[in-house]
A and B are shown apart, each in its own frame.
Chain A
């Protein structure tokens, strides 16, 4: 979960990291009630990268300029996201822009610190940043980072400030469940101090059970999603809409993707990625059918599940019940295999349902039905 800049800076400030003293407004009018020293930076608040390059940060020399900028930015979407707020900060006189980030990296078996003496919008075009593989947060060693920085940063005072900052960032990542904490640019000001001019923080969605702020943010992020997606999330199903016509109800990310690939090979297109493995219950599957039955672009439903912990005799009984009570006339094709799968045929036979033995045959039938029934 990517935070917006001002959310990220709140976390940084709480960890004792210097950030510009800004405030957030949600309308141009709100600026009139504030006593502000100009010039200021007017910064759109969207959880997306590339904002600076796309004109999402404006320098304003007066209240009038700032208000114009706020109105304009609130109307402009960046990377498909419309901002709900704008951050106003004092315009920094930056002597040099640096780059510093801490992120989770498998090669480091934990956290890695990345540093470049030249940061800013062109960071990706330049030389790759210097890299310190920390591992678990408690393995952070200032002298190791100092050795690495010595090769790229000639200013010893900056080096020491970066080391102190990096330690705080690593601690922040570990204690507040952040998978990425990126400061770009990290601004070196005239007095030699370092300030986080921007903040890109990604928090770990899986840590909601112990971090109340993550749980609240996830809940909030769910609301503006289109209804089927928010319902799927609430029902513990993983739904991603795609632009095809074969609705896929599946279990396990791997089998879902493998079946999507086969649908493509058979000349069809998957309408969605819908993984029910986190909620393989009658409630979960019923919701899956409701979502796909209610979606006009879905012409046929393919149920493809290879269960391990999910017992397929239970799934078959659930499918039987769902099919008996279902109003939609969209055809459904089944391929169930896995634990207790040998009982599926018997359960299906009672209801006149058919289970494919081979995944390819099930996919072929689903794709053919989608084409035949709807004249494609």
Chain B
């Protein structure tokens, strides 16, 4: 199985007629995703990439039954588009954009909750269930089907990490980009809960960094009895304190934000944690060996 998205998902793209929307539509279709169409506020009732363009999410849903929306609009109008999607009944909304005011991220998350939906983003490449479907712009060749659930705060790092995992024959159920901002649609602990409940996910890989509290949520999950084995890659050893490292969330303000403090908490909770991409495959193999060990014991 996989979480949140699979071959039965029907995806629409809000902002389909823009450059990014068109490229992404071709890319999603090439991957086998069922793309049902898209919306445009200025170019409705046309066709783009062989897909119907609707004037609103409601119209798109009525006509196609889409349950997932990928939103490619600028930060200035993002909140309105995301609310529109949830209120039209879309179950999963992916907003990849960065530079979103935190006030709007708070409102997006509230809209998801109020409508019983899930938001992924902001500041993320999206989500992919390898071999089944993708809603995002991650490079497809980096992924293959397998037993790992992956959660990442960073888009670019998740490509590199999954490229290595795939190269080592370590495939993935679902790779979720939770994003680098402080207020997230789907948090690390919510993503963990989803992967925990997925029977095909045998081990979880967490890709994190300095700053923020997400890594402590991961440690808290790992310390629970019955938690799935976890491997983690935490980056940012060379980042100086007090300087924002690109991500709004990647800032060392207190001791808990530092690389050393996070590694310590994760190791203590039994996570196979590494501080370098070079060590990732080894750490994941160790976590998977933990799975085999546990199975051998119960057998």
Q: Once bound together, how far apart are the Cα atoms of A255 and B246, in whole Å? A: 11
**Is the C-beta of A324 less than 8 angstroms from some C-beta in chain B?**
no
Contact B154 A254 (CB under 8 A): yes
Which residues does chain A contribute within 8 Å of B109, judged by CB atoms? 109-110
Tell me whether A109 and B183 are in contact (CB under 8 A): yes
Residue tally, chain A, CB below 8 Å to B: 51
A101 CB–B CB distance under 8 Å: no
- Partner-binding segment picked from B33-41, B84-92, B205-213: B205-213
Complex-state Cα separation, A174 to B182, whole angstroms: 16
Taking a contact as CB atoms under 8 Å apart, the answer to whether B243 and A136 are in contact is no
Q: How far is the CA of A211 from the CA of B158 in the complex (A)?
A: 34
Does the CB pair A206–B245 fall under 8 Å?
Answer: no
Q: Is the CB of A265 within 8 A of B160?
A: no
Tell me, yes or no, whether A240 is within 8 Å of chain B by CB. Answer: yes
A341 within 8 A of B: yes
Interface stretch (choices B1-9, B55-63, B97-105, B223-231): B97-105
Is the Cβ of B250 less than 8 Å from the Cβ of A308?
no
Asked if B202 is at the interface (CB within 8 A of a chain A CB), the reply is no
| Chain B residues touching A, range | 35 or more
Q: How far is the CA of A17 from the CA of B239 in the complex (A)?
A: 39
Q: Looking at the complex, which of B192-200, B263-271, B274-282 is the stretch in contact with chain A?
A: B274-282
State whether A204 touches B103 (Cβ < 8 A). Answer: yes
With a 10 A CB-CB cut-off, give which of B107, B159, B246, B278 has the most chain A CB atoms: B246
Chain A 327-355, CB-CB to B under 8 Å as 1, else 0, gives 00000000001110100000000000000
Identify the stretch in A54-62, A81-89, A256-264, A367-375 within 8 Å (CB) of chain B at 4 or more residues: A256-264
| Contact in complex: A255, B238 (CB < 8 Å) | no
Q: Out of A269, A278, A308, which one reaches B138, CB within 8 Å?
A: A308
Name the contact of B158 in the complex, choosing from A106, A254, A260, A264 (C-beta under 8 A). Answer: A254
As a 0/1 sequence over residues 137 to 168 of chain B, the CB contacts with chain A under 8 angstroms (1 = contact) are 11100000000000011111111100100000
A-B contact pairs, 29 of them (CB 8 A): A104-B183, A107-B213, A135-B110, A173-B103, A177-B103, A206-B100, A206-B101, A206-B102, A207-B103, A210-B76, A240-B245, A254-B154, A254-B155, A254-B209, A254-B235, A254-B247, A255-B157, A256-B246, A258-B160, A258-B235, A258-B276, A261-B236, A261-B238, A261-B276, A261-B277, A262-B277, A308-B125, A308-B136, A338-B159
Q: Show the binding face of B for A, using Cβ within 8 Å.
A: 20, 23, 75-76, 98-103, 106-107, 109-110, 125, 136-139, 152-160, 163, 180, 182-184, 187, 207, 209-210, 212-213, 235-240, 243-248, 250, 275-278
**Extra 14 A-B pairs, beta carbons < 8 Å, given A109-B110, A209-B75, A240-B244:** A106-B182, A110-B106, A135-B106, A136-B107, A173-B103, A240-B240, A252-B156, A253-B156, A253-B246, A254-B152, A260-B237, A260-B239, A273-B243, A306-B160
